[in-house]
Amino acid sequence: MSRTGLSPVVVPDGTEITISGQTVSAKGKLGQLSYDVSKDVEVVQKDGAINFAPRSSSRTVRMLWGTSRSRVNNIVQGVSEGFSKNLAITGTGYRAAVKGKVLNLQLGYSHDINYPIPEGIAIKTPEQTVIEISGIDKQQVGQVAAEIRAFRKPEPYKGKGVRYADEQILRKEGKKK
């Protein structure tokens, strides 16, 4: 049984939910998103909340039940509050700057990396070593953060590279004489 699927998705004020067939659409102050729920999961809206129930008791249906609830919760939270990830850059001469619709990264390579900012994502650099990624789609925000981090992953000896702001790097001891 899915513990996640049991709890209903609470719809905050100012967010409009539309269920047509198996498609759940959410419209809020930040934008509009929709998600197609599997045919094996029943979706019901009542009393300002969205409830989910499996249509059979097979293992895959129970897994889809919890997944569907989480995905719908993410779209509701995304259109009402949004999501953000922060990246920190560590290293001498490493920096980032936003120039129009392009994120310019200097990460110790012989060339600059120009990362085009995708539609629906906002990137800010309040400092040269901090990148703030925000948007309404949780998956897209996480994907963009992972792609930027992959340009120069943090290395374990000096900790240089791009890391998540809350990430702890396990440091290794250097070579001994």
Q: Within this chain, do residues 70 and 126 fall inside the same structural domain, yes or no? A: no
Establish if 175 belongs to a structural domain. Answer: no
Q: Is 69 helix (H, G, I), strand (E, B) or coil?
A: helix
Q: Within this chain, do residues 64 and 106 fall inside the same structural domain, yes or no? A: no
Tens digits of pLDDT across the chain (177 residues):
568 888 999 999 999 999 998 999 999 999 999 999 999 999 999 888 999 999 998 999 988 999 999 999 999 999 999 999 999 999 999 999 999 999 999 999 999 999 999 999 999 999 999 999 999 999 999 999 999 999 999 999 998 999 999 999 999 998 887
Range of the domain at 130: 83-164
Instruction: Name the DSSP letter for residue 159.
Output: -
Q: Within this chain, do residues 88 and 154 fall inside the same structural domain, yes or no? A: yes
Contact status, residue 105 vs residue 93, Cβ threshold 8 Å: no
CA atoms 9, 13, 76, 74: torsion sign: negative
Give, in degrees to the nearest 5, the angle at Cα 71 between 18 and 23.
30
Cα separation, 91 vs 89, in Å, equals 7
Domains identified in the chain, total number: 2
Q: Within this chain, do residues 54 and 32 fall inside the same structural domain, yes or no? A: yes
